Amino acid sequence: MPGVASVTGLRPVIMERSLKVIDEELQVAGPLYRRRGALAGRGVGDVVNWLTSLPAVVLVVGGLLLALLVAAVARVGVRMLVPVEERDRVPQIATPLMPTLGAAFAIFAALSLASEAGYLRAAEGLVSDEAAAASRLAWAATSPQVPSEPIHAALLDYLQTTRAREWAGTAAASGDDPATARAIARLERSVRTEAARPEVGTTTGTELVVSLDGVTSSRRARVAAASRDVPALYVVTLVVSGLALIVNSGALVFRSSLRTSLLIVGVASVVGLSLALLFALSAPWSGPFIVSGHPLDATIGDLKSGFFDGGS
């Protein structure tokens, strides 16, 4: 029949057009979904970065208040949400979960705090390496036939600018402060100009350039470390495990008097303080525990006192 044949012939055309439409929709929707997911992850990361930038007092007080509030809400919420005939089952369910939730939170907290404490120590090691590289350059500038004053002046300006403009906040993570960039350029020109002079010699010139590379490489490592963010999922997992432990504790005492219910304050306090300590340790260049710049300050003091010139 002609009608049937025409309909049959249209099916492949319709299917082909449908597939093209679906393919176009996927091409448009795919980047949108990926962008939406990236924005969601960025939003959580921004919240984590904001928390890590708060003062230690705010983190401690906020962590304790949040933990105690969750415990109180859990105690009242169980009373309101659980039917009267099922309240006897609440302790039977909540009691076996306490060791599991407590162990899970303890493991997550121990791993998180140990990792962040190790990162803080590593950051302090980077600062010590940068100070050592600056000292090597200062001593290399005292080699025979090398005028040490221009190099020492440029190195002193670089170290002081770094401590004043590039040590905390977003400048520490971006490494694009204009004043620091000019100080680095001046130091580079001073060292390479002296290293290129024929009377300096190959050995001394190489020592100057290698020492300069040590300073700039140490700075780059410090900037890279300062730009590191705490993984958002890492923090969310720890927070959820801590809140689950507090909620379960609140469910155990929902029938108890107010005085007896105060027993869960200890659990809530430990969780709140652990979270506060995690956020405090997670940002060595923008949080409450800024990495000490004492090694660089000591090198600055030595340059000002003439220590590298033999005290002259």
Angle, helices 2-52 vs 265-281, to 10°: value is 90
**C-alpha–C-alpha distance, residues 246 and 227, integer Å:** 33
Checking phi first, is residue 143 left (phi over 0); if not, alpha (psi -120 to 50) or beta? beta
Confidence band for 135, pLDDT divided at 50, 70 and 90: very high
Name the average pLDDT for the chain: 82
- The alpha carbon of 298 is separated from its chain's Cα centroid by a whole number of angstroms, namely 27
Question: Under a CB-based contact definition with an 8 Å cutoff, are residues 211 and 194 in contact?
Answer: no
pLDDT at residue 85 tops 70: yes
Q: How far apart are CA 33 and CA 109, in angstroms?
A: 33
- The lowest-confidence range among 11-15, 54-58, 65-69, 146-150 is 11-15
Structure tokens that stand for 203 in this block: 């050995």
Q: Are 150 and 242 contacting, i.e. CB atoms less than 8 angstroms apart?
A: no
Q: Which residue has the higher pLDDT, 258 or 282?
A: 282
**Per-residue pLDDT band at 43 (split at 50, 70, 90):** low
- Overall pTM > 0.95: no
How many angstroms separate the CA atoms of 293 and 306, rounded?
A: 20
Q: Which of 227, 247, 231, 243 is nearest to 275 (CA)?
A: 243
**Which token pair is 306?**
């003439």
311: confidence class by pLDDT, cuts 50, 70, 90? low
